[in-house]
Amino acid sequence: MKGRAKIPRPTVKRLSLYLRELESRAVRQPRTISSRQLGAALGLTDAQVRKDLAHFGQFGHPGIGYRFDELMTELRRILGTDRSWNAVVVGAGNIGRAVVSYGRLEGKGFCIKSVFDVDPAIVGTTINGHVVHPVDELTDRVSADEAEIGMVAVPAEVAQPVADALVDAGVRGLLNFAPVRLRVAPDVAIVSVDLTVSLEQLAYKIALGLTGETAEANGDAHQ
């Protein structure tokens, strides 16, 4: 595989879309798909599909196209979803509860091991089978859980110290829901989820007439 660090973010986003499309066709025959078919399903050209996949090697077979199982395996490997990831959630308010209650993360390889909060009224309660632990136990539990992902679902003003505590405890990546830019060491991965930014992007797209699936697949939406 060529240097993954240099892969454009819209390409990486499209890999997830390719995988989702292939998974949605999981029971269909034949078990092959051409770049034209895959592109057409997502509003992309076949050249775009081939260019995206070429970043990672040669998966296609002349005259056959891509073999489903082979391409899904490769895409999962590239995206890092061919293995399971242990995660913890800090903040068991509206967002934290919604994440912990979402039943499909585990099926996608993301296993929530522990949930933390500071509020004595919340600590000790159970969300979707997870007891909420006091945040003082974060360091010990992250280590015991072998958690590599920390989800930050606390108010903005405490998001940085919570992120620092997670990183010190050993997580390698943060999913940040707080509306604040977190500072992390270069070896820590971070992805922020911000509904407001997404809504602003949507308003911008409506205003500019950037409509339809093509604009989405081309990475015009938020990263």
Q: Residues interacting with ligand NAI, by CB under 6 A?
A: 90-96, 116-119, 122, 135, 153-156, 158, 162, 177-179, 193-195
Q: How far is the CB of 131 from ligand NAI (least distance, A)?
A: 15
Residue with Cβ nearer ligand NAI (201 or 214) = 201
Q: Shortest approach of ligand NAI to residue 167 CB, angstroms?
A: 14
Mind spelling out the 3-state secondary structure of 151-219?
A: EECCCHHHHHHHHHHHHHHCCCEEEECCCCCCCCCCCCEEEECCHHHHHHHHHHHHHHCCCCHHHHHCC
Burial of 13-48, coded b for 16+ CB within 10 Å and e otherwise, reads: bbbebbbebbeebeeeeeebbbbeebbebbebeeeb
Type of residue found at 122:
I
Three-state DSSP state, 31: coil
Q: How many helices (H) and strands (E) does the chain have?
A: 9, 9
Q: Which is nearer to ligand NAI, 158 or 210 (CB)?
A: 158
Q: How far is the CB of 185 from ligand NAI (least distance, A)?
A: 20
Which residue number places its CB atom closest to ligand NAI? 93
Question: Judged by CB, which is closer to ligand NAI: 41, or 89?
Answer: 89
181 Cβ contact partners less than 8 Å away, ≥ 6 residues apart: 192
Cβ proximity to ligand NAI, 40 vs 98, nearer residue: 98
Closest distance of CB 103 from ligand NAI, Å: 19
Q: How far is the CB of 87 from ligand NAI (least distance, A)?
A: 15
Closest CB to ligand NAI among residues 49, 175: 175
CA end-to-end distance (rounded Å), the chain: 23
CB of 23 to ligand NAI, least distance (A): 25
| C-alpha span between 63 and 85 (Å, rounded) | 37
**Is the four-CA dihedral 214, 217, 218, 221 of positive or negative sign?**
positive
Would you say 8 or 179 has its CB closer to ligand NAI? 179
